[in-house]
Amino acid sequence: MNDMSPALPPAPETPERLPPPSLGHLRNLLLEQALSLDGMFNGFTIYAVEIVPDGPERSLAYLRIALRAQASCRASVESIARSDRFMREAAESGENEKSCDQPHAPGK
């Protein structure tokens, strides 16, 4: 088999391991995604209502897209809530571990 496709350029050198993004950074990305999806939901809903006289079928198609955007927005917000709950629980368990490390008075 004769492959006539052009050769791919060599892959750029990358560090073996990239540092993981912080949870705060990921939370901000999810928040931006949720806000964008909410805007899409509102925009598609308004457009769908405006075009009902021109074609109810087209309007339904835009409403379906709007509902998908709303569902994705909900999923993003739920991910933010899980992340916040995880961070809160981690902070609380860290406080509990510190209190366990305190020296106790000898029992009498």
7 within domain boundaries: no
Q: Which residue matches tokens 């000898």?
A: 106
Judge whether 29 lies within some domain.
Answer: no
**The pLDDT of residue 104:** 52
* Cα distances (Å, whole numbers) of residue 11 to 14, 18, 91, 96: 9, 16, 41, 47
Distance from C-alpha of 59 to C-alpha of 54, rounded to nearest angstrom: 8
The reply to whether 63 falls in a domain is: yes
The predicted pLDDT at position 108 comes to 46
Instruction: DSSP letter for 10, please.
Output: P
Q: What is the pLDDT of residue 97?
A: 65
Residue at 71 is within a domain: yes
Domain count, the chain: 1
* Burial class, 74, CB count within 10 angstroms (exposed 0-12 / middle 13-18 / buried 19+): middle
Provide the residue-wise pLDDT of the chain in tens; the chain has 108 residues: 455 666 777 766 666 666 677 878 888 999 999 999 999 999 999 999 999 999 999 999 999 999 999 999 999 999 999 989 988 998 888 876 665 555 555 554
Contacts of 86 (CB under 8 A, 6+ apart): 23
pLDDT reported for residue 31: 95
Domain span at residue 81 reads 56-97
Cα distances from 34 to residues 13, 99, 104, in angstroms, run: 34, 38, 48
Does residue 27 fall inside a structural domain? no
- 35 part of a folded domain: no
Residue 20: inside a domain, yes or no? no
Q: Let me know if residue 85 belongs to a domain.
A: yes
